[in-house]
Structure 1
Amino acid sequence: MPIDTKNLLVVSHRYRSFQKDPIDLVSPYFDNVYVLVRFNKFANISDYIHIPALQPFVSSFKIDCANKPSNLEVYKTSFFNLPFDSQYKALGDKHLKVVEELIRKKNIKFDLIHSHFTWSSGYVGAKLKAKYRVPFVVTAHGYDIYRLPFKDDEWKSKIEYVLNSADAIITVSRSNLECIRKLDVKTPVVVLPNGYREDVFHPLNPYECKRSLGLSSDKKIVLTVGNLEEVKGHKYLIEAMGRVVKTRKDVICYIVGEGKLENKLKKQIKSSGLLDYIKLIGGRPHNEIPLWMNACDIFVMPSLKESFGVVQIEAMACGKPVVATYNGGSEEIILFDNYGYLVQPGNSDLLAEKIIIAIDHKWNSEEILKFANKFNLKNQKKQILDLYNLVGDGDESCITGSISN
């Protein structure tokens, strides 16, 4: 039966950015798409008191219904959970309970399940597959596969259960694939990197973008986008900028993102005397990010670890070079110096050196754009739909050979 006569159920931690875009892209091929977004009621506190650590968990950050397809419905599956490891291990059954209640209440019918992240959405998908006897695909994005199953034996068992319950596994990088290979998992795996939407991320006039954002036209702009967490390495970017501005004063760095390190990073910037050169501008609407990408001169990803890092592809889709780290994902993107530079993570001296070189270098934007097009979501749509058809037909043995890795 062709998938355009079926309903798709998506269990996810978010409906925005790299999770929203591929869902929207395949939605025309289904009768109905139901997206169930996990939401922790504890984050409601941040609606009344500004708590940086909770910002990535509030509903306005997790759900973006702009240009939502007409046949797609988004539901919040809400419950209370404290941010402790013991609580996180118990999250699976809590999440499952509210999802099952919503399915009954809304009388949701579905023929295929796709869970984004192995825990806890993947656990929910595995249990729903067993109950409703429908195919189940899980995407292992990042921390949920490169860190979580290796924390202890209990976590390993939980994640292996999810992955072995699936009819197919998608993961976003070859470094993630290597993590899966370390587990006792028999399910076929497809490497399908996160992609970008060409209707959103494409070259625009940089001077018009700067004017629209109220930025100075005579400054060289360094940009990074990411949650304010330790793993994103903002500390080292700030240290690097301290070295950069000793060489040239016409550079300003904008950090887009929210998170628990907001106050700590503000103090670091102030104590380093960099208030004129580094600006923390908080989270920005997704449709504003292309303006920042086009306004910048270089994009920097100082992460200590990344599963892939789609924001660097989005910057390249705007013709911008990237200075990144050997973080597990970026080295699968910055293959040559034609696209940018790589440095060891946590090395602010080398990061500063490459930022200075990148600012002065004459980059070939057309070459960067041509490479970025490999990650265009339209080019990946067929692969996702082929995978859905294969698991729907019960022919998982053909998956590895039929889907391009």
Structure 2
Amino acid sequence: MKVMLLSSYLPRPHVPGNVPFISSRIKALIKKNIDVRSFLVSNTSEVDYNFKDIGLFEHQVKVMNFYFEDCWEDKNKILDLIESLKDQYYKSGCDIIHAHAAFPAGYIASLLKDKYNISYVLTIHGSDIHTTPFEDNQFSRQVKELTIKALKKAECVISVSDFLIKKAFLLTDKIKRFEIIPNGIDSMFKN
């Protein structure tokens, strides 16, 4: 099986210890002989890199520059991003997309589902569900709408806690299926 992983939360050259919860999931999938193709979707000027170069394991990351505001300000840029990801998906022979965080990765996956009927699962992690959509400002109101779309279109929503999935259901009761998989504990830190 081949999985296209979309996230804006991946360890990066300037913050290698950042978000170990995603790199540990990638490592676990690789150990199960699942081919993972990772794409950092973020407002960055970084270039493609390898986890190995930042002191982790061998894993290539393709960087897709994307600015959140393009979701509502420049539809052509997001359409270009979707087209590029679709090409990467089919070129790599992927079977499914795994989006980490409802926005922007989940929203982007929902656009791929709409336009190309590419299935995706969505892992929600925290503030993407319990904070941002409930804040009272213009950005959060816009993100809330896109978050709801991501939740509704996913084949399955994976939540890291019972609390978080309950918050997701406050946003929409149209979630098809959900699973709760806690983040767990990295055994390298035990005594």
Structure 2 residue 123 is the aligned partner of structure 1 residue 116: no
Q: Is the alpha carbon distance of 1:110 and 1:131 closer, same or farther for their aligned partners in structure 2, counting shifts above 3 Å?
A: farther
1:127 deviation in Å?
1.7
Local SS of the residue matching 2:81: helix
Aligned runs of 1:1-400 on 2, under 5 Å? 6-16=1-11, 17-30=20-33, 32-41=35-44, 64-65=51-52, 66-69=55-58, 72-79=59-66, 81=67, 87=69, 90=72, 94=77, 97-98=80-81, 100-104=83-87, 107-151=91-135, 154-187=142-175, 188-198=177-187, 200-203=188-191
Structure 1 consecutive aligned stretches of length 4 or more whose deviation exceeds 6 Å: none
1:112 deviation in Å?
1.0
CA distance in 2, matches of 1:191, 1:157: 23
CA distance in 1, matches of 2:150, 2:82: 17
Alignment check: 8 A CA contact 1:171 1:193 kept: yes
Unaligned runs of 5+ in 2: 12-19
Alignment check: 8 A CA contact 2:70 2:78 kept: no
1:37 deviation in Å?
0.5
Q: C-alpha deviations, 1:188-240, integer Å up to 9, x for none?
A: 22222212332x3232xxxxxxxxxxxxxxxxxxxxxxxxxxxxxxxxxxxxx
Q: Which residue of 2 aligns with 1:55?
A: none
Alignment check: 8 A CA contact 2:161 2:180 kept: yes
Alignment check: 8 A CA contact 1:118 1:138 kept: yes
Amino acid at match of 1:183: L
Q: Name the TM-score, length of structure 2 as normaliser.
A: 0.74
Q: Which residue of 1 aligns with 2:15?
A: none
1:89 deviation in Å?
5.2
Q: Name the TM-score, length of structure 1 as normaliser.
A: 0.38
Alignment check: 8 A CA contact 1:33 1:73 kept: no
CA distance in 2, matches of 1:91, 1:178: 31
1:134 deviation in Å?
3.6
Local SS of the residue matching 1:186: coil
Q: Is the alpha carbon distance of 1:105 and 1:162 closer, same or farther for their aligned partners in structure 2, counting shifts above 3 Å?
A: closer
Local SS of the residue matching 2:189: coil
Amino acid at match of 2:72: A
Alignment check: 8 A CA contact 2:50 2:60 kept: no
Amino acid at match of 1:127: L
1:29 deviation in Å?
3.4
Percent identity over paired residues = 24
Local SS of the residue matching 1:157: helix
1:96 deviation in Å?
5.9
Q: Which residue of 1 aligns with 2:16?
A: none
Q: Is the alpha carbon distance of 1:181 and 1:104 closer, same or farther for their aligned partners in structure 2, counting shifts above 3 Å?
A: closer
1:160 deviation in Å?
1.2
- CA RMSD after TM alignment: 3.1
Q: Is the alpha carbon distance of 1:63 and 1:145 closer, same or farther for their aligned partners in structure 2, counting shifts above 3 Å?
A: farther
Unaligned runs of 5+ in 1: 1-5, 45-57, 204-405
Alignment check: 8 A CA contact 1:10 1:33 kept: yes
Residue range with higher mean Cα deviation, 114-123 or 168-177: 168-177
Q: C-alpha deviations, 1:346-380, integer Å up to 9, x for none?
A: xxxxxxxxxxxxxxxxxxxxxxxxxxxxxxxxxxx
CA distance in 2, matches of 1:114, 1:8: 7
Q: Is the alpha carbon distance of 1:39 and 1:158 closer, same or farther for their aligned partners in structure 2, counting shifts above 3 Å?
A: closer
CA distance in 1, matches of 2:131, 2:110: 20
Amino acid at match of 2:63: K
Alignment check: 8 A CA contact 1:146 1:179 kept: yes
1:59 deviation in Å?
7.5
Q: Is the alpha carbon distance of 1:130 and 1:119 closer, same or farther for their aligned partners in structure 2, counting shifts above 3 Å?
A: same
Which one has the largest radius of gyration?
Answer: 1
Alignment check: 8 A CA contact 2:133 2:144 kept: yes
